Amino acid sequence: MLSRETRNMGYTHYWFLSGEIPPETWELIRRDSEKLIKALPDSIEDFWVDDTEIGFNGGCETFFLSREGNDRGCCKTGHVPCDKLICAILSIAQEHHPALSVSSDVLLGVKPDGWADACAWASQVLGRKVSLPWSSSPDASTDELTDARPSGLRGVWRSALRLLNLG
């Protein structure tokens, strides 16, 4: 089992977009993201939300999501307060555009409650249910997560390989 220090230091979320998010879909993601950012203002610095990008400095690494094709991203959060916002934005982005593949170290057993808390918070802020960006719950067995759609456990490794241009 990883030590608490190792888990916090290496806690990362990954995403991959093949193709482009249509402008009308991006507008939905943009509006939801703005509401979420405004609801968590104290931990966000230097944020921008526009017609092609959403990004901010949350204290660990800069989060950056683009609507333009072949976006490969990852953001190490170390469980800083903006982790909740990053999980929420990735969840609503995947909800609005299912072709966005989202993975996280949570699928490897690192802090499974963070995503559920983020989705519950986003649901409260947005006034509608926001679901996890993969088909299995964070309490699912490793076998269930491995067999989940591509954004499950296999997606973590697939996303990491794509980021390194190895897959």
User: Each residue's pLDDT tens digit in the chain (167 positions)?
Assistant: 444 444 445 688 999 998 999 999 999 999 999 999 989 867 676 889 999 999 988 667 889 999 987 778 999 887 777 889 999 999 999 999 999 999 988 787 765 568 999 999 999 999 999 999 986 544 433 333 333 334 444 444 455 545 555 44
- The Cβ of residue 9 has, within 10 Å, a number of other Cβ atoms equal to 14
**13 bridge partner residues:** 75, 104
- What's the alpha-carbon Rg for the chain, to the nearest Å? 15
**15 bridge partner residues:** 73, 102
Contact 80, 58 (CB under 8 A): yes
Give the pLDDT confidence score for residue 126 in this predicted structure. Answer: 98
Give the pLDDT confidence score for residue 162 in this predicted structure. Answer: 52
- The Cβ of residue 7 has, within 10 Å, a number of other Cβ atoms equal to 17
For the entire predicted model, the pTM comes to 0.76
